[in-house]
Amino acid sequence: MNFKLESTAIQTAVAGLKFRTQAFINGTFADAVSGKTFVTENPATGRPIARIAEGDAADVDCAVKAARAAFESGSWSRRKPAERKQTLLRFAELVEANAGELALLDCLEAGKPIADCVNIDLPDTVACLRWHAEAGDKLYDRVSPTGPENLALILREPVGVVGCVVPWNFPAQMVAWKLGPALAAGNSVVLKPAEQTSLSALCMAGLAAEAGLPAGVFNVVPGFGPTAGQAIGRHPGVDMVAFTGSTEVGRLFLRYAAESNLKRIILECGGKSPQVVLADPPDLDLVAQNVVNSAFWNMGENCSCGSRLIVHQSVKDDLLDRITKLAGTWTVGDPLDPATRVGSMIEKPHLEKVLGYIAAGKADGAKLALGGRQILETAGGYFVEVTIFDEVTNAMKIAREEIFGPVLSVIPFATEAEAVAIANDTNYGLAASLYTRDLNTAHRVARAIRAGTVSVNCYSEGDLTTPFGGFKESGFAGRDKSIWAHEQYTELKTIWMQLA
């Protein structure tokens, strides 16, 4: 289903939507073993969308057994990489053919602007699946430089059964970031979407089967974190978990692994990313555009959100003026309206959390420069104004904790050393931006900032060719995207041979 980005066409498309609401295990859609369901809600209206099968430990166990059987059968794990590529490319094609529907599902469940879902999330999802599909048959193993009496092969083998536990902020895209490299490497997957956003993952499961992925290779168990999520983390039949979500929950997976089978754990977690504007920035309008995009894109519900603007005191007032004016043009409203730039917060408790941070900013003495209030209550949803605080110090709560909402903190500085110190004074280290006209300053500051991705004179997460992940408490042991993502879904094996 594809449609024009125009209100009537969108409403018609919504009316025609069909939902997959059952778990997908061993190639079949089925109710939860317990028969339980939970409601998924539209956060822009507060109204229910559908009831979803509530998987728990019993369903995870079925899915892991199916994934293990598929892995051991070799139906996928031992197929030629070139053949896996063909299936995954067909899958990408089907996702592309159904991109309109998937975009609507993410828009409805996550409250994300439809224009972003259509123009960013779904094209990126398709591109990601294609990139990893294509990479799978272009990777070579190695022969070690041993003496003439031996031959030592250093091989990469699929890890086995991979559990993927993903968040709600980029639902379809996060599935692709995990699934693309995990499947290309030959693994079987058991995925648990976030409880708020199961629909696009379930739709993608149907498309993967249609593309010819053998039964049991990709399973989706919708459900809650403490039950279904924990069961994946503790299952002795899961060889690895790839997790994206909060640092708090990421930590739990390390515990689950320690207390079960020492499964490999890869974590992509939160951030409090700095945007550093030095005393010699390029065109300030361009800086303002990037700063606003970094802080408010996806409602600030973005792990690499540039939530701290660390700006040289000589340009602060001028830049603040421009970003305030520009941010004021980012329309907050109905996610289904193609003109909306900022949709709703994901759920009521999260809205309350964001409002709590705004209250903390005021109480700590930061100066409110824009927004700060809940709005559009009559719609029934969870909307908050785009919010900017000036005169923030890095010690304040709003500068230290991940808010995951549209709240920007502006922190002035006097010297480059001070800027770097503030940028690094955080437990996180996912992303950073810096703005300067001087090439030497750019290299010096980019190297000094402790973050997985540093962008210069722009806000960017790179593209599919660049690894994405964090230093410090933003991540653990791996990277999404790029060839480095493939490696993390493989085990290293040495085959040592004695030659006659």
- Measured from the Cβ of residue 484, the count of other Cβ atoms closer than 10 Å reads 15
Is the Cβ–Cβ distance between 132 and 485 less than 8 Å?
A: yes
- Measured from the Cβ of residue 450, the count of other Cβ atoms closer than 10 Å reads 17
Q: Give the one residue of 404, 413, 435, 489 binding ligand NAP; rule: CB under 6 A.
A: 404
CA distance 366 to 410: 9
* CB closer to ligand NAP, 109 vs 402: 402
DSSP secondary structure string for all residues of 122-139: HHHHHHHHHHHHHHGGG-
Q: Give the one residue of 194, 241, 369, 386 binding ligand NAP; rule: CB under 6 A.
A: 194
* Residue 357 binds ligand NAP, judged by CB under 6 A: no
Binding residues with ligand NAP: total (CB under 6 A): 28
What are the angstrom distances between the C-alpha of 44 and each of 88, 112, 351, 352, 416?
34, 9, 12, 15, 42
Please name the residue ranges forming H helices in 343-480.
348-363, 397-400, 416-424, 439-448
240 forms beta bridges with 162, 264
Q: How far is the CB of 223 from ligand NAP (least distance, A)?
A: 7
* Residue 249 binds ligand NAP, judged by CB under 6 A: yes
* CB closer to ligand NAP, 95 vs 194: 194
Q: How far is the CB of 238 from ligand NAP (least distance, A)?
A: 12
- Stretch of 57-65, 182-190, 191-199, 359-367 contacting ligand NAP, by CB under 6 A: 191-199
Q: How far is the CB of 345 from ligand NAP (least distance, A)?
A: 11
- Stretch of 24-32, 71-79, 183-191, 228-236 contacting ligand NAP, by CB under 6 A: 228-236
Tokens of 81: 């990489």
CA distance 335 to 226: 29
Tokens of 426: 């955080």
Q: Give the one residue of 244, 324, 436, 453 binding ligand NAP; rule: CB under 6 A.
A: 244
Burial string for 291-302 (b: 16+ CB within 10 Å, else e) reads: bbbbbbbbbbbb
- Stretch of 129-137, 265-273, 331-339, 436-444 contacting ligand NAP, by CB under 6 A: 265-273
Which amino acid does the sequence have at 187? N
3-state helix, strand, coil in the chain (%, to 5): 45, 20, 35
Q: How far is the CB of 414 from ligand NAP (least distance, A)?
A: 30
Give the footprint of ligand NAP on residues 78-107 (CB under 6 A): none
* Residue 192 binds ligand NAP, judged by CB under 6 A: yes
Burial (CB < 10 A; 0-12, 13-18, 19+), residue 1, is middle
Q: Give the one residue of 246, 289, 393, 441 binding ligand NAP; rule: CB under 6 A.
A: 246
* Residue 209 binds ligand NAP, judged by CB under 6 A: no
Q: How far is the CB of 403 from ligand NAP (least distance, A)?
A: 10
Give the footprint of ligand NAP on residues 275-314 (CB under 6 A): 303
Give the footprint of ligand NAP on residues 53-72 (CB under 6 A): none
SS3 274: strand
Q: How far is the CB of 12 from ligand NAP (least distance, A)?
A: 30
* Residue 402 binds ligand NAP, judged by CB under 6 A: yes
Tokens of 468: 């994405």
Q: What are phi and psi of 262, to 5 degrees?
A: 55, 35
Q: Give the one residue of 233, 335, 412, 478 binding ligand NAP; rule: CB under 6 A.
A: 233
* Residue 268 binds ligand NAP, judged by CB under 6 A: yes
Q: Give the one residue of 5, 127, 152, 252 binding ligand NAP; rule: CB under 6 A.
A: 252
Q: How far is the CB of 206 from ligand NAP (least distance, A)?
A: 20
Q: Give the one residue of 164, 257, 269, 370 binding ligand NAP; rule: CB under 6 A.
A: 269
Q: Which residues are catalytic?
A: 268, 303
* Residue 43 binds ligand NAP, judged by CB under 6 A: no
Query: Which among 464, 422, 457 is positioned nearest to 443, based on CA atoms?
Result: 457
* Residue 405 binds ligand NAP, judged by CB under 6 A: no
Running DSSP on this structure, what letter comes out for residue 375?
E
Q: Give the one residue of 224, 391, 441, 446 binding ligand NAP; rule: CB under 6 A.
A: 224
* Residue 230 binds ligand NAP, judged by CB under 6 A: yes
* Residue 324 binds ligand NAP, judged by CB under 6 A: no
Angle at 15 between CA 12 and CA 21, to 5 degrees: 140
Q: Give the one residue of 40, 169, 187, 200 binding ligand NAP; rule: CB under 6 A.
A: 169
- Stretch of 16-24, 82-90, 192-200, 411-419 contacting ligand NAP, by CB under 6 A: 192-200
* CB closer to ligand NAP, 167 vs 274: 167
Residues in the chain: 500
Tokens of 483: 């060839």
User: Tokens 């409880």 correspond to what residue?
Assistant: 195
Strand order in the sheet with 23-25: 28-30, 23-25, 218-220, 188-192, 161-165, 240-244, 264-268, 475-476
Tokens of 122: 């779904």
Is the Cβ–Cβ distance between 129 and 176 less than 8 Å?
A: yes
Q: Give the one residue of 168, 297, 330, 413 binding ligand NAP; rule: CB under 6 A.
A: 168
* Residue 435 binds ligand NAP, judged by CB under 6 A: no
- Measured from the Cβ of residue 112, the count of other Cβ atoms closer than 10 Å reads 30
* Residue 471 binds ligand NAP, judged by CB under 6 A: no
User: Which positions touch ligand NAP (CB under 6 A)?
Assistant: 165-169, 192, 194-195, 224-226, 229-230, 233, 244-246, 249, 252, 268-271, 303, 402, 404, 430, 470
